[in-house]
Chains A and B, each alone.
Chain A
Amino acid sequence: EVQLVESGGGLVETGGSLRLSCSPSGFNFTTYTMIWARQAPGKGLEWVSSISGRGSYIFYADSVKGRFTISRDNARKSLYLQMNSLRAEDTAMYYCARVPPTSTCFDFWGQGTLVTVSS
């Protein structure tokens, strides 16, 4: 069974940093592109960043470019999102999700981890 479990969320002050983790199971992690997406309170889903299976291709949304860094450790089967210079508008539930090889959809999602940025 495919599972994705996010962790690392919490309360942080404006300008602070946080590192999110995503622990996958039930599939060959190395062969899948992974993404982070988020949902701010009362808002819709927003894609944040993508990373290919071997980490060769990385993309970011404009809203986080230069502040967030996506990475992965295939040996440890983990996906990360390093978030620096956090702003109030980064407050959201953060989800990791998997991209299947033959599509551009996100076929499995985690339950999310909540990040709250307070001033």
Chain B
Amino acid sequence: QSVLTQPPSVSGAPGERVTISCTGSSSNIGANYRVHWYQHLPGAAPKLLIYDDFQRPSGVPDRFSASKSGTSASLAITGLQPEDEAHYYCQSHDKTLSVTVVFGGGTRLTVL
């Protein structure tokens, strides 16, 4: 069981918009720890997609955006493209005694 909860899968047709939720608690996202998002293609290195809740690294298209509210965060992808098919992970920190870095369980995005 991951500390941050993501839907196992989402799907959308090319050109559509999809969102991926990341639900935490008062000891992580709700404690105002920053949320980051990664894209992971099979056999490749994970890639930073969004950092510090909503910031995009240079080179990441503005089709990718993110937001945070309360104990949850959300990644949105607009204008879906076939190359967006990947696993997406949220990541934050947790102030529980024995845990520091936490990842969501990951969401598999399928482009129909």
Q: Does A95 contact B (CB under 8 A)?
A: yes
Q: Given the complex of chains A and B, what is the CA–CA distance between A4 and B48 in angstroms?
A: 14
Q: Given the complex of chains A and B, what is the CA–CA distance between A107 and B58 in angstroms?
A: 11
Instruction: Check A44–B51 contact: CB distance below 8 A.
Output: no
Q: Does A45 contact B (CB under 8 A)?
A: yes
Instruction: Check A95–B45 contact: CB distance below 8 A.
Output: yes
Which among A9-17, A69-77, A98-106 touches the partner chain? A98-106
Instruction: Check B100–A109 contact: CB distance below 8 A.
Output: no
Q: Does B106 contact A (CB under 8 A)?
A: yes
What's the tally of chain A residues with a CB closer than 8 Å to chain B? 23
Instruction: Check A107–B46 contact: CB distance below 8 A.
Output: no
Instruction: Check B93–A45 contact: CB distance below 8 A.
Output: no
0 or 1 for each of A79-98: is its CB under 8 Å from B? (1 = yes): 00000000000000001010
0 or 1 for each of B26-62: is its CB under 8 Å from A? (1 = yes): 0000000110101010001111100110000100000
Instruction: Check A45–B47 contact: CB distance below 8 A.
Output: no
Q: Which of these, B33, B47, B51, B102, contacts A109 with CB under 8 Å?
A: B47
Instruction: Check A110–B103 contact: CB distance below 8 A.
Output: no
Question: Across the interface, which residues of A come within 8 angstroms of B98, CB to CB?
Answer: 62
A62–chain B nearest beta-carbon distance, Å: 5
What is the chain B residue whose CB lies nearest that of A109? Answer: B45
A-B pairs, top 8 by smallest CB distance, nearest first, are A47-B101, A44-B106, A105-B36, A105-B51, A109-B45, A45-B103, A44-B105, A109-B46
> Interface residues, chain B, CB within 8 Å of chain A?
2, 33-34, 36, 38, 40, 44-48, 51-52, 57, 87, 89, 91-93, 98-106
